[in-house]
Structure 1
């Protein structure tokens, strides 16, 4: 029995860019018929939902190539600081948030851009007295660092430097007192774990809210770069309630010191809409906080170490996953980190290994992705929103002109034969996929599209950007037998101007044949 029939649309092939068919029929979560309206109408039964798309464009379901919908639901609690462009605005927003606190409540904030500190240190003292006496946890936009107030450090028992197995740090002043800046997850968690947590039910409701928002933006799936046992339990509970609107591929983290065995055993766990299929590793941190791994130090003499204390152990760990048939996704931002991951994968099988982020690349690394069958997973809006064409931003100043000119080389990787997958890395950048594709095309900040693009020669074509969030990310081509994951847009995304694409209305989202978002007038 046919469940859904869409008529009077334009079915867009993400490989050819052509829209030659107008109708599609869905049954049991799969596409069972495509063609013109006349040929598909016989599929309609008495219980079939039939929608007249009135010329709207159907694409394969848009997939976010790199996102964190569960941990992001926690990380985005509290004040949104992403719109603060200077210290005065930050202090004003924190003052507003502080006044709204109940007695004893912690202040949470997220999306803090380090550029607003300029040449001043990122510290609780620089923020000023607005945080005095208040336990506050402010997450920087990259999610690799946290700024904690002195009261939060006190409650967490953080009184001086700590040693970690990974490349993490409690930043301290010359007297050994914590400044409030915590670099990388192990250091950040010292304070995060001291803060009160929402109940399980509150957290599940928050994750469900995030996923509904993703579906409304046109997403039908995501490569979820997380998936520990607690996160899997959240998805399982939502799935059992019928509240899971996206198809999620999970890659739980493997940290230095972890044994591969448990992660190998977890592969395949899940159900129709969510499944463990891979692992996530880290080769470095971020350029903005000086924890990336570069061939040469940044302007502060930082970013010279790998996240793994012994990179050779990383290589052995990846080899164990490869031998077990488990695809790996490795966070590698700096050129030295990317090089080491590629070297580690040189003898691997072509089972879908990926490198995430790839923010600065020298020429010699470009052809190796195609040679080794390694996917380049990139987030173009990070370039758009957090760097500047004139290289006056923190990221570019740290790297210097030559390396900043090699920013997010999406086009060069594509032309070198690499499979390029696009994503948001939400909550680092907004998740709406049309915004991600727009950023890949215009490379300008969404908040001010009049600004010049950063590296316009690295812009993708409209068709490349669409492929980066459909077939390259694992969707079908709107053919019979493909999964019925569909995104319906008000107009053809290949012909909408680059700077208007992000505002293109999403008319309908369908995941596994189920409508997860529908415009009110459709």
Structure 2
């Protein structure tokens, strides 16, 4: 009897289940797939096999297989250790020996500005006046009268050193204002139309902290240097919200093409620029992208130091991240200018300008007071410093932070750390200061540094990557993409520093009203790694200071796990370790030896959170 009751009960359950499954209007709380998914939850969604995986994890540097479930890594190791995670729904990807790396982390970019300039022509690499004029002529064709022709990237050193003048381009741009910034962004050329629009004449006084270059008769030649650019840049139209959103998406896709899965975006912020620009982009672009599912890469944002109270309040309200896509990194400011414009702050004068020691861009006491307050509340600080004296000042500032606010894991960052007295490398290590550096810049700077600093000084002080590592400092690689930009500011020198002297031009623009030309310091981590390993400028046959060359492993770590550490994300990304987000790239090579020696591979595919987001086989994936 009990057996009969049990049989009837089982039959009733079966009938009820069939009814549920066949009743179309009933919303089922479960399905057959969901029922079976419990059994599959122990298995991976994706397994890589027959791969040469560099993990950036010192506990397991290399592996041949990796298992991923959802957006995170389950296991990394040999195939036998992964095999048990392969279920009937697992996608198994045999990579036939190809090299796999953690997704690259770009430690210093201006993402939206990079996206804006991608749709415009460039003046980089121009080697003579004729080519310069031809580029501008091409940009001027077909545009409406009165529309701006903006651009940059020119480097007069490439054609012997003579500076361009307005008369080069006046005849081909009689009805349009032109502004073309130099590669370092610290000077620009205006045509006569633009000079008239800005009201710059023979009688215009020299601005504090800048120069209007003049002919022997006192007439402006068209060149405006440093703060003199403030006379021109406010005239340039501003980019719309729609254009900035498109620029962010465009730049993100370009990053994926290069294997970059995370960037540290230091924003549209330069000395003299209002801090609101970065906050406008956070509100109008990043929050929009997060809420609408338009984030393609992970972004760590740095905000202007003068807005530190605003960032602290935001962190109180939303925490330090929006999901796994947008991270609120910290604050940034500027200590000096650049070597190319002879405004990097140095102990000794420039060789070609014996009375020039460079420039303290932002008042040091102002930096100190504001960093102490922000640091007290646990916010990370990053400071732009290029010259040897500027770097030492920032190392001393970090010591003051420690003595004032106590010892903690603050990961103070110095952006660029380009020229250092040898003793400074030891201080970086002793103080656990991050050196956020741009290896590709050394390829362009080698000749200029020797010209401006002298051979011995340039050799001993420039791009000391190996010395920094030997001193136990952390390196984080970036590109500063893009280098040369122009910006529409309502330029008011910040009240906190009435002696602000340097302005980095940066373009915000209305694409319907003008054309721009730019130099691109390419977002290219494989290029940065190769530059750090070889240190060989394009026109050289040997390395520039070979004792500072890095090994391939050290260079890879600077683009992955150390870069993640530099922005407090090493618990989430930076290495292919169990539990971390599954961001990785597949390269074209299947030879580690060849890759280590030549760094000549290309990116075949990029994955973010275990999902394929770029493949070289996808026609039309990226289009400017």
What does residue 562 of structure 2 align with?
472
Structure 1 residues 354, 360: CA separation in 2 closer, same or farther (over 3 Å shift)?
A: same
1:87–1:116 contact (8 Å) kept in structure 2: no
Which of these residues, 362, 372, 375, is aligned with residue 322 of structure 1?
Answer: 375
TM-superposition CA deviations, 1:265-293 (whole Å, max 9, x none) = 34436442112211111001111112211
The alignment partner of 2:108 has SS state of strand
**TM-score, scaled to structure 2:** 0.74
1:338 to 391, 402, 412: 391
Deviation at 1:63, TM superposition (A): 0.8
Instruction: Write out per-residue CA displacement over residues 185-217 of structure 1, whole angstroms, 9 at most, x where no aligned residue.
Output: x65465344223444323322321121011011
Q: Which residue of 1 aligns with 2:289?
A: 238
1:409 aligns with 2:460: no
Shift of 1:425: 0.9
In 2, Cα distance between the equivalents of 1:110 and 1:47?
Answer: 52
**Mean Cα deviation higher: 405-414 or 18-27:** 18-27
- The offset of 1:124, in angstroms, is 3.3
Q: Per-residue deviation at 1:332?
A: 0.4
Match of residue 124, structure 2, among 82, 87, 98: 82
Does residue 1:121 correspond to 2:175, yes or no?
Answer: no
Q: 1:99 to 1:6 in 2, by over 3 A?
A: same
Matching residue of 1:357: 416
Q: Judge which range, 145-154 or 427-436, deviates more.
A: 145-154
Alpha carbon RMSD of aligned pairs, Å?
Answer: 2.9
1:482 Cα offset (Å): 1.4
State the match for 1:151 in structure 2.
193
The 1:108/1:352 distance shift into structure 2, 3 A limit, reads same
Structure 1 residue 433 corresponds to structure 2 residue 483: no
CA distance 1:46–1:68, change in 2 (3 Å): farther
Separation in 2, partners of 1:124, 1:131: 10
Residue 346 of structure 1 and its aligned partner are, at CA, apart by 0.7
Question: CA-to-partner distance for each residue in 1:405-460, whole Å, 9 max, x for gaps?
Answer: 222111111112211111111112211110110011112245x5x64332222211
C-alpha separation in 2, matches of 1:510 and 1:64? 16
Residues 492 and 132 from structure 1, CA distance in 2 versus in 1: closer, same or farther, beyond 3 angstroms? farther
Q: CA shift at 1:65, angstroms? A: 1.6
Question: Counterpart in 1 of 2:263?
Answer: 222
Q: Does 1:33 align with 2:84?
A: no
Q: Distance in 2 between matches of 1:244 and 1:214?
A: 12
Change (3 A) 1:10 1:499: closer
Out of 223, 241, 259, the residue aligned to residue 200 of structure 1 is 241
Larger Rg: 2
Name the residue aligned to 2:64.
22
Q: Secondary structure at the match of 2:536?
A: coil
> Is the CA contact (8 Å cut-off) linking 1:81 and 1:93 kept in structure 2?
yes
Q: What residue in structure 2 maps to residue 93 of structure 1?
A: 135
Q: What per-residue deviation string (whole Å, max 9, x for no partner) do you get for residues 83-137 of structure 1?
A: 2123332222222222243433221223222423534235435667555553122
Give the Cα separation in 1 of the matches to 2:591 and 2:410: 31
- Match for residue 248 of structure 1 among 274, 299, 302: 299
Aligned counterpart, 2:327: 275
User: Secondary structure at 2:473's aligned position in 1?
Assistant: coil
The whole-number CA distance in structure 2 between the counterparts of 1:456 and 1:17 is 29
Which position in structure 2 is the counterpart of 1:264? 312
Give me the whole-angstrom Cα distance separating, in 1, the residues matched to 2:251 and 2:615: 17
Kept after mapping to 1: 8 A contact 2:332/2:382: yes
1:294 equivalent to 2:346? Answer yes
> How high is the TM-score relative to the length of structure 1?
0.88
Distance 2:451 2:171 in 1: 29
Query: By percentage of residues, which structure has more helix?
Result: 2
Conservation of the 8 A alpha-carbon contact between 1:10 and 1:19: no
Determine whether 1:491 maps to 2:589: yes
CA contact (8 A) 1:438 1:499 kept: no
Residue in 2 that maps onto 1:520: 617
Judge conservation of contact 2:103–2:585 (CA < 8 Å) in 1: yes
Aligned residues: 506
Given that residues 30 and 483 in structure 1 are in contact (C-alpha distance below 8 angstroms), is that contact kept between their aligned partners in structure 2? yes
CA-to-aligned-CA distance 1:343-379 (integer Å, 9 cap, x gap): 1111334311111112211112111001111011111
Cα distance, 1:19–1:305 mapped onto 2, change above 3 Å: closer
Structure 1 residues 516 and 283: CA distance shift in structure 2, 3 A: same
TM-aligned CA distance change 1:318 to 1:182, over 3 Å: farther
Measure, in 2, the Cα distance between the counterparts of 1:125 and 1:498: 49
Measured in 2, the distance between the counterparts of 1:181 and 1:499 equals 44
Structure 1 stretch displaced more, 13-22 or 86-95: 13-22
2:378–2:410: 8 Å Cα contact kept in structure 1?
Answer: yes
Distance 1:497 1:25 in 2: 24
Q: Report the CA distance between 1:15 and its aligned residue.
A: 5.2
Q: Bigger shift: 114-123 or 53-62?
A: 114-123
Shift of 1:44: 4.3
Structure 2, unmatched stretches of 5+, are: 1-40, 269-277, 403-407, 484-520, 565-572, 620-624
Tell which deviates more after alignment, 100-109 or 45-54. 45-54
Change over 3 Å in CA distance of 1:454–1:94 after alignment to 2: farther
Change (3 A) 1:129 1:65: same
Give the aligned partner of residue 63 of structure 1: 105
Q: CA–CA distance in 1 between the matches of 2:81 and 2:321?
A: 40
Secondary structure in 2 matching 1:251: strand
2:589–2:595 CA contact under 8 A, matched in 1: no
Counterpart for residue 139 of structure 1: 181
Q: Is the 8 A contact 2:561 2:575 kept in 1?
A: yes
Note closer, same or farther for the CA distance 1:205–1:397 as it changes in structure 2 (3 Å cut). Answer: same
Task: Find the aligned partners of 1:467 and 1:492 in 2 and give their Cα distance.
Answer: 20
